[in-house]
Amino acid sequence: MSDHHTSPPVRRFRPLVRMRPRDPDEPHRAATPLELLFDLCFVVAVAQAGVRLAHAMAENHPVHGIVGYCFVFFAIWWAWANFTWFASAYDTDDVPYRIATFVQIFGVLVLAAGVPRAFDHSDYSVTVVGYIIMRIALTFQWLRAARNSTGAVRTTALRYAVGLVITQIGWVFVALFLPAGVWRWGYILMAAADLSVPSFAERRQRTNWHPRHIAERYGLFTIIVLGESILAATVAVQTALDEFSAIGELLPITFGGLLIVFSAYWTYFSLPVHEHLNTSARAILWGQGHYFIFGSAAAIGAGLEVSVELAVHKAHISQTVAAAAVTVPTALFLLATYLIHSRHAKSGRAEHAVLPISMLLVLASTFCGSWAVLVAGLTMAAGVAVEEVLHSRRWAALSKV
């Protein structure tokens, strides 16, 4: 008997092809093994940033830790985002493309190696070198795309290349020549300039990024940063086994941390978002807003590590500060996810109120002493349950119409 089912086309590796924009409506578009390898290497950089944040918080240097974390995480996240959007539009998967991607991966590892210097000594020279390596490879990709394109598509690719070169020169100037007193202001200025490049480049012609593919890629990176919290929960279990006298304080942290991670996953992936990404302006705002989603999700893991260290008397902070290291990034994750990601699929005041109310209750749990993490986890789980009930009722009502 013949098989009448249509299988998705198989993309076969070819040594060299013309780099042309891919079809934004291409069926069965999914993340490639090379993209997954790229993401895996970013785990190292995210983990380094989280460890340094946890250490700074445990040593009672919250301002230094938070500022350093925000700066370092911006470099990590923006480098990942630049590659992701380019790959969604121009992934040819031939020899030059793979080599350029490997160079970018090398840059990621250099950036990760520079994270301790950036945190401990405010020396961002190594992270900037890693950033330069990644930017050189990405600029080559955009120039290659311009060479194989014409008209407005070529102009967009050239604008991206020019924007990358100009901003990278600015980053080098800020890192090497600005005095310490104004360095942070220079960093903020360059971050804003970097974020403006996509809007400048796609002003007349958007690149052919694939909405479903982009939504999947951001979802995969969300899983990666939530994985840092899973690792922290694992450390809590291991510490409980080694420090049995503190098991009464460590078990609530473990279960509360897992509830937070599971609820965060459920909240982010509860509804599809690709249909919202139907214009460049919406997609850019959605994509750039994920800095707060990714950054807060990874910071939850750092906060859990701080709570574990306090439970075994290795942290020099109060119980409230240790709890805030978990509850504040958790609340930020809920707020950012609602404003940037999930509100577009909600209907009615009740559905829109769940995440903001959950955020306030999570913040209030900061003052629950050693039970703060568990209370925050239970609060998030209750919010998920309420959301599911409201969502089910809405669909049941629509099915009767």
Q: What is the mean pLDDT of the chain?
A: 87
How high is the pLDDT of residue 3?
46
For residue 158, count CB atoms less than 10 angstroms from its CB and return exposed for 0-12, middle for 13-18, buried for 19 or more. middle
Say how far apart CA 198 and CA 366 lie, in whole Å. Answer: 39
Q: What is the pLDDT of residues 97-131, one digit of tens each?
A: 999 999 999 999 999 898 888 887 778 888 889 98
Q: What is the pLDDT of residues 146-188, one digit of tens each?
A: 998 889 999 999 999 999 999 999 988 887 788 877 888 888 9
- What predicted TM-score, i.e. pTM, was given to this entire model? 0.90
Residue 21: is its pLDDT beyond 90? no
- Residue 12 is classified by DSSP as P
Determine what percent of the chain is predicted with pLDDT higher than 90: 49
Q: What is the DSSP letter of 368?
A: S
b/e per residue 234-262 (b: at least 16 CB within 10 A)? ebbbebbeebeebeebbebbbbbbbbbbb
Instruction: Classify residue 207 by burial, with Cβ atoms within 10 Å: 0-12, 13-18, 19+.
Output: buried
* Predicted pLDDT at 2: 42
Q: Residue 180 is encoded by which pair of tokens?
A: 């310490």
pLDDT value at 14 more than 70: no
Given this model, what pLDDT does residue 13 score?
55
What pLDDT does residue 330 have?
Answer: 97
Checking if the pLDDT of 244 tops 70, the result is no
pLDDT of residue 9: 52
Domains detected in the chain: 33-201 (no CATH), 211-270+279-396 (1.20.1410)
Query: In the 3-class helix/strand/coil scheme, how is 186-227 assigned residue by residue?
Result: HHHHHHHHHHHHHHHHCCCCCCCCCHHHHHHHHHHHHHHHHH
